[in-house]
């Protein structure tokens, strides 16, 4: 039998997006969370029962006494693993006048609880027992609930306490997932969205700092979050887009990568000097070295742009702007440069973020561009910045600034410069544009 189209097991494709049953998705999320929770609880209980609680009890509940060694032996387990056993004679602290008690001690508390799971090599056990010759007296601690349980060592296994972090992480993820499933089970997407408390709604703008302005325009980004400040040429100075992280990230990568490459290059040089060249390593190092050099060149370029080109200042006569509105824009560029060309543009870009497998990807598409200032071949002298003004006519028939979790419409001023004997630079200045009269809103 020929099927008209193949059976889809996990959902269907609609446009650019895959869709499926929410309920089915939540069921699988619940199942996965439960498995995660279980994967956390089992090792947590094991670590608590075998290591944490017994060791804590030895420190805080066991009673101290002096014990005399009567005998010792080595117990052999499988796979050439051994554990020590020491016969002790001791008095109970609560009954010092009674006849002494005799018991076999397993040296420390862990073997008692791990059912012989803590074993060592024979040489180590022999060395351990040599510290407890027959007739010698030692500090020891016994369990008041079962006085025949006595240990000669009071210590914490710190690796076990650190290992607690792993099951705790599993429990947090699994428990959180299960709570999410329980809270959303049987509820429609619309009901969940409508019931989200205002403070919890991450789609909504965080603050309404400009009085009622942002309350009027939901999902238009808050201009205060851009951090604009009063200007000196015009009313508002636009903050530059945060690009410092790019230099920082590139420098960190460059340092890490080239340190690794330097390590391998050192080994390689040593091998060559000793007359035993490692050709496989050479084949690995050559492309790695190329990547390292490219990273170094990129960082150098960013440093040149950041340090060589002076600050760019963009100011506007009002902010936020409105679609269809007319404003004034001022540009100030400092430095000591010979500019080949300098362009200032108003642009609008769509930014879409989507999951592709386990990666989160972002695609940007420019949908509007307007040239505001264009200057060719001029000098900027030290202490005498280049200044220019332009009329900023925001188009009436366009989309306003928009911000949701995965999708954004961003407006910004872009300053792009080509400098003689220097890398080109581009600086962005985000701004907020609200719906205007032509599209139905009024500032």
Partner 1 sequence: MIAPAITLTLHESRRVYRPGEKLSGQYYIEAVEGTETVAVEISVLWHTEGKGDEDIAVHFFDRVSQDERAVLDFRQPRVFSTVLPNSPLSYEGVLIKIRWCVRLRVFLSRGKQIVEERSFQLGEVPPARAVLP
Nearer to partner 1, 94 or 189 (CB): 189
Nearer to partner 1, 288 or 370 (CB): 370
Nearer to partner 1, 316 or 323 (CB): 323
The angle that helices 22-47 and 165-184 make with each other, rounded to 10 degrees, is 150
Least Å distance between CB 277 and partner 1? Answer: 48
Nearer to partner 1, 13 or 145 (CB): 13
Nearer to partner 1, 290 or 355 (CB): 355
Calpha distance 69→89 (Å, rounded): 7
Least Å distance between CB 17 and partner 1? Answer: 6
Q: State how far Cα 434 lies from the chain centre.
A: 33
Least Å distance between CB 284 and partner 1? Answer: 38
Provide DSSP, 10-64.
S-EEETTEEE--HHHHHHHHHHHHHHHHHHHHHHHHHHIIIIIHHHHHHHHTSEE
Least Å distance between CB 258 and partner 1? Answer: 32
Nearer to partner 1, 314 or 434 (CB): 434
Calpha distance 197→437 (Å, rounded): 31
Calpha distance 281→296 (Å, rounded): 22
Least Å distance between CB 405 and partner 1? Answer: 5
User: Does residue 46 contact residue 90 with C-beta atoms inside 8 Å?
Assistant: no
Least Å distance between CB 248 and partner 1? Answer: 25
Calpha distance 40→48 (Å, rounded): 12
First CA to last CA distance, the chain: 63
Q: What is the binding site for partner 1 (CB under 8 A)?
A: 15-17, 23, 188-191, 193-194, 201, 203, 216-220, 347-348, 350-355, 363, 365-369, 397-400, 402, 404-407, 409, 434-435, 438-441
Nearer to partner 1, 73 or 406 (CB): 406
Least Å distance between CB 43 and partner 1? Answer: 34
Exposure string of 262-289, with b = 16+ CB inside 10 Å and e = fewer, is: eebbeebeeeeeeeeeeeeeeeebeeeb
């Amino acid at each position: 039998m020929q099927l008209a189209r193949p059976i889809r097991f996990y959902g269907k494709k609609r446009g650019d997006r895959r869709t499926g049953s929410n309920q089915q998705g939540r069921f699988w999320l619940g199942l996965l969370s439960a498995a995660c929770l279980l994967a956390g609880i089992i090792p947590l209980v094991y670590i608590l029962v075998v290591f944490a609680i017994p060791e804590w009890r030895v420190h805080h509940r066991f009673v101290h006494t002096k014990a005399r060694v009567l005998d010792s032996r080595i117990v052999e387990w499988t796979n050439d693993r051994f554990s020590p056993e020491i016969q002790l004679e001791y008095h109970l602290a609560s009954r010092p006048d009674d006849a002494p008690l005799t018991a076999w001690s397993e040296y420390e508390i862990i073997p008692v609880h791990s059912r012989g799971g803590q074993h060592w090599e024979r040489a180590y056990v022999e060395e351990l027992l040599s510290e407890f010759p027959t007739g010698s007296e030692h500090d020891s601690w016994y369990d008041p609930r079962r006085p025949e349980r006595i240990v000669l060592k009071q210590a914490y296994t710190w690796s076990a306490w650190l290992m607690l972090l792993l099951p705790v992480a599993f429990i947090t993820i699994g428990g959180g997932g299960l709570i999410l499933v329980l809270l959303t089970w049987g509820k429609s997407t619309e009901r969940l969205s409508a019931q989200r408390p205002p403070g919890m709604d991450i789609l909504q703008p965080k603050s309404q700092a400009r009085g009622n302005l942002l309350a009027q325009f939901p999902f238009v980004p808050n201009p205060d979050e851009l951090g604009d400040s009063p200007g000196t040429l015009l009313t508002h100075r636009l903050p530059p887009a945060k690009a410092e992280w790019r230099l920082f990230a590139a420098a960190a990568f460059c340092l890490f990568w080239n340190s690794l490459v330097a390590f391998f290059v050192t080994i390689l040089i040593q091998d060559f000097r000793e007359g035993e060249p490692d050709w496989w390593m050479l084949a690995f190092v050559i492309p790695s070295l190329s990547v390292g050099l490219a990273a170094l060149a990129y960082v150098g370029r960013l440093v040149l742009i950041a340090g060589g080109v002076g600050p760019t200042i963009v100011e506007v006569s009002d902010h936020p702007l409105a679609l269809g509105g007319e404003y004034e824009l001022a540009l100030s560029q400092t430095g000591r440069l010979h500019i080949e060309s300098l362009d200032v543009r108003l642009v609008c870009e769509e930014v879409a973020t989507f999951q592709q497998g386990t990666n989160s990807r972002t695609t940007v598409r420019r949908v509007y561009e307007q040239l505001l200032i264009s200057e060719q071949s001029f000098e900027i002298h030290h202490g005498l910045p280049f200044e220019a003004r332009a009329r900023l006519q925001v188009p009436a028939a366009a989309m306003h600034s928009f911000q949701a979790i995965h999708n954004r419409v961003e407006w910004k001023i872009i300053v792009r410069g080509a400098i003689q004997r220097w890398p080109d630079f581009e600086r962005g200045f985000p701004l907020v544009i609200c719906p205007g009269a032509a599209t139905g809103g009024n500032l």
